[in-house]
Chains A and B, each alone.
Chain A
Amino acid sequence: MAGSNEVNINESKRVVPLNTWVLISNFKLAYNLLRRSDGTFNRDLAEYLDRKVPANTIPADGVLSFDHVDRATGLLNRVYLRTTEGQPAWGFEELEKPLSTTEAVPVIVFFHGGSFTHSSANSAIYDTLCRRLVKTCGAAVVSVNYRRSPEHRYPCAYEDGWTALKWVKSRTWLRSGTPNDSKVHVYLAGDSSGGNICHHVAVRAAEAGVEVLGNILLQPMFGGQERTESEKRLDGKYFVTVRDRDWYWRAYLPEGEDRDHPACNPFGPRGCSLEGLIRFPKSLVVVPGLDLVQDWQLAYVEGLRKSGHDVKLLYLKEATIGFYFLPNNDHFYILMEEIKCFVNPNLNCQKR
């Protein structure tokens, strides 16, 4: 592995802009420092290094945000709302009224990535991403600060996701639509582990009869015991290694479990078909062509199709992981456009 370093670095540098390369390489190296070989994690240093930003109720570029903490569970959600010209900076009054009484406004429940271990809802990179989602899609976004591994293993993240979904669905001020038709128009979205959480929360919602209008899985984190061709081919080449993927699964899954656990491999040997689960939402699955776990992501798409569910695959051939953090590449704009169309079905979007 040491000998092939030079080639790896040059390859990844060729396919992303320099500032992206610096950002993701920095994450990679910092994360390497934080993971310990005994499976424990240096949480203190991780929190110290993570760049965070506070919420901001002064509308900045048409978006304001505030944090809500559920007193019962301690779960924090950061809520992002779009604002319009002339709206007062302090909009607590708006908490009584629905988002709109004339049209449907999508509410995206967002689960940040970090392989179940890193980052928070108030991490700078995710705060920025959520604000961009509000602007592009005209949506409200609720970013969930779910409990992370290894301190909190499966199924904590899914539990928190489910709690957050129920909270969002029950907010009168997140409703929209004409008075006869007012409801919370919920979509689930997430990158990396967040994408994985979306899937499992959506399954639970469908089983419980709770309506979710769509799932957006951005570079979702799935895996399995088998070593796939993409894992072998791309190992270590574009910021990510199979070894670190393994570490995060060991940290998240119950001790002693392997990667064919259905949390990790929902359509694998221990998974089950979703055939017949009618209320499972339509999905948009975004796969970066240079992500080493793409074979698992593609297998997921296939699994959904076989179960008879509506899934659209957006395969971005030359995208690396994390392409969506900085708006300095085409993939970013293509992605935003796709998400916008996905959550605004009334828009006249070009079919691809």
Chain B
Amino acid sequence: MGPSSTSNAGTGKPPPPPRTELDGFLAGAGHKVRSSDLHHVAQRLERLESAMVSSPSHVVSDLTSDTVHYNPADLVSWVDSLLSELTHSYHHPNNSSAPTSSTSSSSRSLPVDLDDLFAIPSAANNWLQPEMPLSQPPQLTVFTTMEEDSGIRLVHALMTCAELVQRGDLHLAGTLVDEMTALLTRINTGCGIGKVAGYFIDALSRRVSGAGSAPASPHETEILYHHFYEASPYLKFAHFTANQAILEAFEGHDCVHVIDFSLMHGLQWPALIQALALRPGGPPILRLTGIGPPSPDGRDTLREIGHRLAELARSVNVRFAFRGVAASGLEDVKPWMLQVSPNEAVAVNSIMQMHKLLGPDPSPIEPVLSWIRGLNPRIVTLVEQEVNHNQTGFLDRFTEALYYYSTVFDSLEAACPVQPDKALADMYLQREICNIVCCEGAARIERHETLAQWRDRLNRSGFRPLPLGSNAFKQASMLLTLFSAEGYSVEENEGCLTLGWHSRPLIAASAWQASPLSAAIAGGDN
């Protein structure tokens, strides 16, 4: 280390780089501010207060009703953006309802027609710098606070069995499976802990006996997905949030191309097509490339779905072209198959697919992230389960899954979905559980990782975050009120949105863009 003196009289030495540590106490309160920035933030807060006091009251109330806020964890940016909103509106009082180039605000306010929800412009240039993620301890959570005796004993037995499996003592584990199966007969397996335990016991049984899990056919998977979509708000939230971000990213572009990493039944796209049809200035030319598994029986399911979407697009006067790319897995997709042309704005959309690429070495995730970056997309929308099911230790993984799926099933029960949606939605989840518990190596594809882990990975792979703002948050919250079940909660997490059950986030949506190459070289070396 060099000399610590900061005097540079006559030496020509540059001063040492600023301390980039975050203020620990504020970080604990959820606000990321560098210690060296405290004075700056304080000054800006003072100015903001003065501006609020001296502005006419309608201007200040616009700050809440119309302005889109981004990432309140980054206090500096949040205060600065409010300040610029206020001073701009104050100096251009006649312009208060017109969008500006730097920070635009919507002149619409809720409640609005559902159709209008997508057509709200955003503060398009308010993107933030990537942040230093605080390292989070792994969220190993397993409290199910049921207090019926047999429920507790069952969970205890499950954990013990999992530990035996981790130790390799399959014989003893098998005995325990039998005991647990017997225990199951004494509790209600239609709901609650009994139901979830049943699935985990089944999965353990398969693992111990070596039977493994039967892989679902793509056709079955699609059907189960569709019913899970109907029975709960998770996939709707995913589609809705991603669409909003894509819509905003496509502003000002006349040729746009969406690449969907898993088309399924194309459920996500009618809403986007309709939103694009309604956008001020008219719709762009829309291309959609849908990736999906090859159809076995000579049908071309991808094409059929493409046809249906094309019909819809035609009916709302959106010029539309569809292309299907059949591949068994994302690792088999090559960028040339997507036929991206240089003048179009590209959106890459991945709903619960990316985690499948996290398998053992050579893991395809890096090559795939690399070619995504190579497409120079306007936006990459990523939605993933908010949990770490990719831990190497079996017991850790099992524990995490037990808690996670207990919470998901809890939420489904409260949502009271109709049959057959509910039963098939359960089966959709059961397949995931089975894969996490029974499979290893390349066969284990449900390798969910948390938002914090994805942030880390994407930052390192040359992407930077595009914050989802308060607009998306508000609309997601409204989406939830369409479901009668209270208990779902949308939360803002440093520019990303999560949907969870009570206070446990279960699914996380984020948006990304390729970082400019020079960003890798610039920046402090602290």
Contact = CB atoms under 8 A, between A and B. Distances in A.
Interface stretch (B112-120, B247-255, B284-292, B501-509): B501-509
B30 A92 contact: no
Contact of A29 (B28, B45, B137, B473): B45
B155 A92 contact: yes
Given A22-B33, A42-B65, A92 B28 contact: no
Interface stretch (A63-71, A190-198, A282-290, A294-302): A63-71
Contacts of A93: 152, 156
Contacts of A2: 53-54
B38 interface: yes
Given A44-B473, A56-B137, A26 B45 contact: yes
A320 B124 CA distance: 40
A42 B38 contact: no
B25 A69 contact: no
Nearest to A90: B142
Contacts of A327: 25
A67 B403 CA distance: 12
Interface in B441-483: 470, 473-474, 477
Contacts of B178: none
B230 interface: no
A326 B25 CA distance: 6
A331 interface: no
A5 B53 contact: yes
Interface size class of A (residues with CB under 8 A): 35 or more
B198 interface: no
Interface stretch (A31-39, A178-186, A264-272): A31-39
B139 interface: yes
A48 B144 CA distance: 28
A327 B45 CA distance: 22
Contacts of A125: 29-30
A352 B205 CA distance: 63
A57 B39 CA distance: 36
Interface in A316-334: 325-328
A76 interface: yes
Contacts of B152: 92-93, 95-96
Nearest to B474: A44
Interface string A133-158: 00000000000000000000000000
B486 A19 contact: no
Nearest to A128: B28
B226 interface: no
A54 interface: yes
A57 B65 contact: no
Interface in B132-168: 137-145, 147, 152, 155-156, 159
A69 B145 CA distance: 9
B477 A47 contact: yes
A2 B144 CA distance: 53
B30 A1 contact: no
B20 interface: no
Nearest to A69: B502
Interface centre among B42, B54, B147 (most CB of A within 10 A): B42
A124 interface: yes
Contacts of A33: 52, 60, 63-64
B93 to A, nearest CB: 18
B48 interface: yes
Contacts of B142: 57, 89-90, 92
B143 A23 contact: no
B218 interface: no
A75 B474 CA distance: 23
B488 to A, nearest CB: 12
Contacts of B72: 48-49, 51
B140 to A, nearest CB: 5
Contacts of B426: none
Given A25-B49, A95-B147, A45 B470 contact: yes
Contact of B64 (A18, A42, A53): A42
A239 B61 CA distance: 20
A19 B26 contact: yes
A93 B159 CA distance: 11
A67 B407 CA distance: 11
A50 B157 CA distance: 39
Contact of B45 (A22, A56, A95, A96): A22
Given A95-B147, A122-B503, A128-B29, A45 B137 contact: no
A190 B52 CA distance: 31
A352 to B, nearest CB: 27
A5 B54 CA distance: 11
Contacts of B25: 19-20, 23, 326-328
B50 interface: yes
Nearest to B42: A22
A204 interface: no
A328 B28 CA distance: 13
Contact of A90 (B42, B79, B399): B399
Nearest to A53: B30
Nearest to A30: B72
A46 B300 CA distance: 48
Contacts of B49: 5, 9, 25, 28-29
Contact of B477 (A32, A44, A55, A57): A44
**B63, B64, B474, B491: which has the most chain A beta carbons within 10 Å?**
B64
A9 B44 CA distance: 12
Nearest to A66: B143
A249 interface: no
Contacts of A1: 53
Contacts of A56: 137, 139, 141
Contacts of A44: 470, 473-474, 477
B30 A57 contact: no
Contacts of A325: 29
A323 to B, nearest CB: 12
A343 B191 CA distance: 40
A250 interface: no
B492 interface: yes
Given A2-B54, A25-B45, A95-B152, A54 B505 contact: yes
B57 interface: yes
B68 to A, nearest CB: 10
A74 interface: yes
A67 B502 contact: yes
Interface string A101-140: 0000000000000000000011011001000000000000
Contacts of B26: 19, 22-23, 326
Given A49-B72, A96-B152, A124 B29 contact: yes
Nearest to B504: A54
Interface in B45-86: 45-46, 48-50, 52-54, 57, 60-61, 63-65, 69, 72-73, 75, 79
A3 to B, nearest CB: 10
B64 A19 contact: no
A21 interface: yes
A52 interface: yes
Contacts of B399: 89-90
B432 interface: no
B41 interface: yes
Interface string B272-313: 000000000000000000000000000000000000000000
Interface of A: 1-2, 5, 9, 13, 18-23, 25-26, 28-29, 32-34, 36-37, 42, 44-45, 47-49, 51-58, 60, 66-69, 74, 76, 78, 89-93, 95-96, 121-122, 124-125, 128, 172, 325-328
24 contacts: A2-B54, A18-B38, A19-B26, A22-B42, A22-B75, A25-B42, A25-B46, A26-B79, A32-B52, A45-B470, A48-B72, A49-B492, A54-B139, A57-B142, A90-B140, A90-B399, A92-B144, A92-B155, A93-B156, A96-B152, A122-B503, A128-B28, A128-B29, A326-B26
- Give the top 6 A-B pairs by smallest Cβ distance, nearest first: A51-B30, A66-B143, A124-B30, A90-B142, A326-B25, A57-B141
